[in-house]
Chain A
């Protein structure tokens, strides 16, 4: 099969259109550069009525929103999931890494939780504090100006609290807590756990004339048709195009490798067009990888040449290594004081929590390093598949009969509607060299590209941290007068730690550092080995804090994009 070459040469080819790729597109196109964005999935616009799921009712789906097709249910806007037909991955024996991919313009930003947390000063220098892992070669002061710009460009609500490691920013005002969140605040107070307004990227106030303001349907996971929440397409790529930017979108195009010349410099990428299943080549002066930490590592490892026999940018043998995800575990509680609720009002709110607990303890007094934050959910949500299951199970807490049939069940459903509250702990793991992805040469995807194999094991540090989460959850439940549901996970169950990958915060596979022997990119996210290749997803993260990675991906992608513009001006690359 002949590889088809496109005659046009781009200034920059960006692989992937999620948070990192979207930000690079916006900044580079606004600077007047000719940009190609290559995305493995179809075009997606939440305002397109054919794709819109926002404001649909459960009965508009024949399965009432069940998750038999899309992992997070029929209305969630992630095309893909843990398993994608024709795109397998493998795990070494004893490893159980779960890899979530969303194949669509905007990637996972279309359905994500919009929890938008800055890393704090301590988060960039963890080795200095506990001797574990490595420091970043940059610090909070390097990133702060970009966090500030991201806040203002995209919009995030929250409050300036003056906390040492949860920095202030340029926040829109937060929404008031819902009823179940007031119970969370009460329970957390009793357990000496601080609670502050959450920090999420929805527009509670107008930020520009292009995007709408939040109308509180609570459905950000469906992606907002008036662009009142952050998705990469609606907030970065479409504005770059509307601004007159030279942006060519190559959708349904799966990048196979970065192509290089005799000198070992990148010349562009080759990709498979999913529609005609033929391989194409795109030429560009600069290649920016933003395909997700694991996908970008895969592309580099599959880009072998005479000049780069171990894969592109992999002279260190570090590509794919230090893969890490957030720790995670959850618990739910029934709160009798939340029974018999008045349904006279709409409490959908924003899509997700209005309050949360940032990490609050001193590790010197604990048997594990690093921390976690607590997310909270509950309320009188819209029914979907699963609503009404075991309608009177909570009768057991009152010594009443469980089960039955007939119209008495209707009373039970209404009595308990909105009386459950849940917590998710999300914590920082210690990156390990022995946790990695590599090319599995025994397996190919349907596009002829060798797939990834994962090797991942949690250490005692993470398991102890999750045990602490569960102790905290039970204390909070006790103080809000609730009954914990289900059993507390045991030691044999590793205290309920979620499998790696499950929290969908994959980071670290192309880590940043000053030493080219122990890192893949420099502090500008430029490959040590090839100066015209950059990585702007979460691959360069040295460590990931207990903060969701998106806001830092956006800030660092902007910073790298500024650096690319400057280097091109100076003709250094």
Chain B
């Protein structure tokens, strides 16, 4: 069983809590998995940067219980349903694990926040957060998920700031993933020819193009024709 599936099954309640992430497979297979994972990232690194990424990717910061709690939180923040894929489908817990190593100031806030949420859950319900019922989990979140915006961020309670950080990392982890970008509907990052805002969009937002301005703009039907000017700098082609 791979990690993602095991994290998902925690949330779905299909596997008993406390399952070790790597518990289902022999050591050698795990290593193979890690090597494959490192190879996935091919994005123009310098040799030094590549080495640094690999170092971070082979380390593990959060323990099994912490990873499972993160998964439960991610799933509460962006659950999957009939319409949407959720944070766990986008492997957001793995992204959070990476960011904790890549940006060490997160470490204490996240780890301490996870301890806080278990303490709170144990106090109120006699159960760790991840094994509390969904209603109990939501009751805890309802107390920490709505910051008082009149209060400066640095002065807000630690549990509120912890949840804001979890929410931020979950949202960004999801919307920078393939499925998150698809859901958002972003149409760029591919070769195209820009020829202005569609009419319907201009109308929707109550603005329009100035004709004189547009006349100066590129005629995209001539983009492939070699530029030539007269001596005054007037484009002839």
The answer to whether B172 touches A64 (Cβ under 8 A) is yes
A-B contact pairs, 16 of them (CB 8 A): A50-B44, A60-B42, A63-B102, A69-B102, A170-B233, A177-B196, A205-B218, A208-B226, A342-B200, A344-B201, A348-B188, A383-B184, A404-B146, A405-B145, A407-B79, A414-B184
Q: Does A360 contact B (CB under 8 A)?
A: no
Give chain A residues whose Cβ lies under 8 Å from the Cβ of B217: 173-176, 197
Give chain A residues whose Cβ lies under 8 Å from the Cβ of B147: 402-403
Q: Which residue of A has the minimal Cβ distance to B198?
A: A345
For A63-97 the 0/1 string (1 means CB < 8 A from B) is: 11110110000110101000000000000000000
Q: Which residue of B has the minimal Cβ distance to A63?
A: B102
Stretch of B5-13, B59-67, B121-129, B204-212 on the interface side: B204-212
Give chain A residues whose Cβ lies under 8 Å from the Cβ of B26: none
Q: Which residue of B has the minimal Cβ distance to A402?
A: B149
Give chain B residues whose Cβ lies under 8 Å from the Cβ of A52: 44
Partner of A57, one of B178, B197, B200, B206: B178
Stretch of B15-23, B28-36, B50-58, B110-118 on the interface side: B50-58
Q: Does B46 contact A (CB under 8 A)?
A: yes
Residues 200-231 of A contacting B (Cβ, < 8 Å): 204-208, 213, 215-219
Known contacts A69-B52, A337-B206: does B84 contact A396 (CB below 8 Å)? no
Q: Does B214 contact A (CB under 8 A)?
A: yes
Q: Which residue of A has the minimal Cβ distance to B166?
A: A405
The answer to whether A383 touches B77 (Cβ under 8 A) is no
Give chain B residues whose Cβ lies under 8 Å from the Cβ of A363: none
Binding site for A on B (CB under 8 A): 41-44, 46, 49, 52-53, 56-57, 76-79, 81, 84, 95, 98-99, 102-103, 141, 145-147, 149, 163-164, 167-168, 171-178, 180-181, 183-198, 200-202, 204-210, 213-214, 216-219, 222-227, 229, 233-235, 237
Known contacts A168-B233, A406-B79: does B172 contact A345 (CB below 8 Å)? no
Partner of B46, one of A42, A159, A343: A42
Tell me the smallest distance from the CB of A221 to a CB of chain B, in Å: 13
Q: How far is the CA of A406 from the CA of B80 in the complex (A)?
A: 10
The answer to whether B187 touches A345 (Cβ under 8 A) is yes
Give chain A residues whose Cβ lies under 8 Å from the Cβ of B164: 390, 403
The answer to whether A204 touches B223 (Cβ under 8 A) is yes
Tell me the smallest distance from the CB of B102 to a CB of chain A, in Å: 5
Known contacts A64-B176, A346-B188, A348-B189: does B171 contact A403 (CB below 8 Å)? no
Interface size class of A (residues with CB under 8 A): 35 or more
The answer to whether B168 touches A343 (Cβ under 8 A) is no
Given A176-B214, A179-B201, A382-B188, 11 more A-B residue pairs with CB atoms under 8 Å apart are A62-B57, A64-B173, A176-B217, A178-B197, A206-B227, A344-B198, A385-B172, A388-B168, A393-B149, A403-B167, A407-B84
The 4 closest A-B pairs by CB, nearest first: A388-B171, A215-B191, A343-B185, A176-B196
Binding site for B on A (CB under 8 A): 42, 50-53, 55-66, 68-69, 74-75, 77, 79, 148, 152, 155, 157, 159-160, 168-179, 182-183, 185-186, 197, 204-208, 213, 215-219, 337-338, 341-350, 380-391, 393, 396, 401-407, 409-410, 413-414, 417
Q: How far is the CA of A350 from the CA of B223 in the complex (A)?
A: 14
Q: How far is the CA of A75 from the CA of B193 in the complex (A)?
A: 22
Tell me the smallest distance from the CB of A317 to a CB of chain B, in Å: 39
Q: How far is the CA of A447 from the CA of B119 in the complex (A)?
A: 53
Q: How far is the CA of A217 from the CA of B189 in the complex (A)?
A: 5
Partner of A206, one of B53, B193, B223: B223
Q: Interface of chain B, helix or strand or loop or mixed?
A: loop
Tell me the smallest distance from the CB of B11 to a CB of chain A, in Å: 14
Give chain A residues whose Cβ lies under 8 Å from the Cβ of B195: 176
Q: How far is the CA of A247 from the CA of B24 in the complex (A)?
A: 59
Q: Which residue of B has the minimal Cβ distance to A58?
A: B176
Known contacts A173-B219, A207-B226: does B99 contact A405 (CB below 8 Å)? no
Give chain B residues whose Cβ lies under 8 Å from the Cβ of A413: 171, 175, 184
Q: How far is the CA of A383 from the CA of B207 in the complex (A)?
A: 25
Give chain B residues whose Cβ lies under 8 Å from the Cβ of A338: 205
The answer to whether B178 touches A410 (Cβ under 8 A) is no
Tell me the smallest distance from the CB of A427 to a CB of chain B, in Å: 26
Known contacts A75-B43, A383-B180: does B193 contact A205 (CB below 8 Å)? no
The answer to whether B189 touches A60 (Cβ under 8 A) is no
The answer to whether A347 touches B177 (Cβ under 8 A) is no
Known contacts A55-B189, A390-B168: does B235 contact A172 (CB below 8 Å)? yes
The answer to whether A417 touches B184 (Cβ under 8 A) is yes
Q: How far is the CA of A51 from the CA of B42 in the complex (A)?
A: 9
Give chain A residues whose Cβ lies under 8 Å from the Cβ of B207: 179, 182-183, 186
Partner of A385, one of B146, B176, B191: B176
The answer to whether A387 touches B218 (Cβ under 8 A) is no
The answer to whether A342 touches B201 (Cβ under 8 A) is yes
Give chain B residues whose Cβ lies under 8 Å from the Cβ of A391: 167, 171
Give chain B residues whose Cβ lies under 8 Å from the Cβ of A59: 176-178, 181
Q: How far is the CA of A348 from the CA of B192 in the complex (A)?
A: 9
Q: Which residue of A has the minimal Cβ distance to B94?
A: A62
Give chain A residues whose Cβ lies under 8 Å from the Cβ of B44: 50-53, 56, 75, 77
Q: Which residue of B has the minimal Cβ distance to A179?
A: B197
Tell me the smallest distance from the CB of A496 to a CB of chain B, in Å: 18
Q: Which residue of B has the minimal Cβ distance to A77?
A: B44
The answer to whether A74 touches B145 (Cβ under 8 A) is no
The answer to whether B145 touches A63 (Cβ under 8 A) is no
Q: Which residue of A has the minimal Cβ distance to B41?
A: A62
The answer to whether B77 touches A406 (Cβ under 8 A) is yes
